[in-house]
Every structure is written in C-alpha cells, then in structure tokens.
Structure 1
Amino acid sequence: MSTETAAQAPVRFDTKIAVLLRDDLETWQRLNVTAFLVSGIGSELPEVIGEPYADADDTPYLPMFRQPVLVFEGGKETLKAAHERALRRALPRSVFTSDLFSTGNDRDNRAAVRAVPTEDLDVVGIAVYGPRNAVDKVLKGARMHP
C-alpha cells in the first residue's frame, strides 16, 4: 500500500469511547452531562488524546480525543444495567448522577456521589472507555442518540 493510499484509508480503533445518557433528560442536561463525563475520560487516559491543532495561520488549539465519541441513550434500567456491567468489567468510567444537577462545583459534586452507595446511585449518564467489544457489551440495550 502506498503512503498516499495509507494516509487516505479509514482509521479503525480497537477501543471505543462511549457516553450513555438517560432518555428523560432535557436537552441542556444531555449536553452538560456529556461534557462533564468525557472530561473524566480525557483527564485520566492520556492515550485517548491526540496532538494539538493549528490552523493555516499557526494559531494553536488544544488537542482533542483522537477517536470519535459515540453517544447513546436509554431508560433508567438501561443505565443501571450498563453501570453495573462497566463496574464488573472494571472499564474506565465516569458517572453523573441526578444529584449533580443541584450542585455547583466539583467539591460538592464529589460529595454528592460519595454520599450514596453504588447500588443506590441515580445514574443519569456514564462514559466508558475500553476495547470495542467490551464497551458494546456494557451498552447492551442502549440505542444511538438521535
């Protein structure tokens, strides 16, 4: 394969970054939860971050994920099951609970999650990263976000 052909070939990833949102969230909540969740993945897993960007004038921009982030949705039970599967598989994950809509800073967010046992968390969103097939199994029953 020539260098030019290789550069044009689609990039396939063995891993997947996915966000699963509860389907009863308001639009602003979906956006807010997604932003918070993916920040956890990027901060703890430097291998998912690509190189910095620059435009034609050499104006620099921050690096972003090196691969797509897929967003899914599901009902409350789908979220609960996905959360349990992500824990069982020990996949890197971030969590957003309904309690976090009433807090206003990181300290209070962490305290709100800390106050609730794992099985009682009212999960409205999770982000997971790992091998594609493992992430697919965690997301079983979810559907792509419209």
Structure 2
Amino acid sequence: MTHATNDSSPVRFDTRIAVLLREDLEPWQRLNVTAFLVSGLGTELPEVIGEPYADADGTAYLPMFRQPVLVFEGSKETLSAAHGRALARELPVAVFTSELFGTGNDRDNRAAVRAVPRERLDPVGLAVYGPRNAVDKVLKGARMHP
C-alpha cells in the first residue's frame, strides 16, 4: 500500500480485491455468493484486513477489508475464462459453483466442489486478490456490476 503521511491524502492500493459474478444470477444469489466468496479472503490473507473499528462511545466492531471490493459481472464463458486465468497466475481464488445452491452447509459445499474436476467446474462466482494489473487481466471481458 502506498500513501502519504498526512491523513487527508488519498490512499492508493497496489492490490485489488475483486468478485466476479455470473450475469444470470438472481439478486439474492448475487448477494449470497458475494458474501461467501469474500469470507475466504480474510481467513487466508490477513494483510487484506484492516484494524478493528470503534464508535465515539468506545463500542468495538469487527475489522473489515482495508480496501474496496470491486464487484463485476460476466457471462458463463467470461467466468470460466477468468477462473482459468486466475489459477494460471497462481492468484488466491475463492470459487462458488452452481452446485452449491443445492447444498446447505460447509461440509457438503466442499464435497460438491471436490466431486468435479477443475475443467468441468461451473463457477457462478469467484473472488480474487492480487496485484492490480494481474487481477485486471484475470477479469478481462467482465464489466462492473450495475
């Protein structure tokens, strides 16, 4: 992260957190998939998490990501291509496949993904983290979520 010493200067990040959703998801699915996907980043990449929050009364709140999360959408083909590019670049990736809409817990979710070879996965969403330019290349063909 690069930033000047004065608190009012803009903070610029050398990295990017991005979520890519398949364009044909229902609104509730988009929200659910996004929440699941980003939950994996903070557990494996502690550098993406900022400091805890507190209000003026001293009430403590959990820390959140230290930088914005950009949300994109794309076709099934765009998502499959992005999945392959993210893996080829060895970037940290969280994946949500269509099969996970039929499961109801973490154990069954992991089993559903494990049952399908990588080239046959049907991702409906993915989250990726890494250098800005690498993430931008992974997301080629996607557009910002409306």
Q: Match of 2:40, as an amino acid?
A: G
What per-residue deviation string (whole Å, max 9, x for no partner) do you get for residues 55-83 of structure 1? Answer: 00000000000000000000000000000
Q: Distance in 2 between matches of 1:109 and 1:86?
A: 21
Q: Secondary structure at the match of 1:112?
A: helix
Q: Can you give the 5+ residue segments of structure 1 that lack an aligned partner in the other structure? A: none
Q: Figure out how many residues of one structure are paired with residues of the other and give that number.
A: 143
Q: Distance in 2 between matches of 1:10 and 1:141?
A: 29
Q: Distance in 2 between matches of 1:81 and 1:90?
A: 14
The TM-score normalised by the length of structure 2 is 0.96
Q: Match of 2:27, as an amino acid?
A: T
Q: Distance in 2 between matches of 1:41 and 1:73?
A: 19
Aligned to 2:32: 32
* Off by >6 Å, runs of 4+ in structure 1: none
User: How far is the alpha carbon of 1:43 from its aligned partner?
Assistant: 0.8
Q: Can you give the 5+ residue segments of structure 2 that lack an aligned partner in the other structure? A: none
Q: Secondary structure at the match of 2:113?
A: helix
Q: Distance in 2 between matches of 1:54 and 1:8?
A: 20
Q: Distance in 2 between matches of 1:102 and 1:60?
A: 36
Q: Distance in 1 between matches of 2:94 and 2:33?
A: 10
Q: Secondary structure at the match of 1:108?
A: helix
**What fraction of aligned residue pairs are identical, expressed as a percent?**
83
Report the aligned-residue RMSD. Answer: 0.9
Aligned to 1:49: 49
Q: Distance in 1 between matches of 2:73 and 2:8?
A: 32
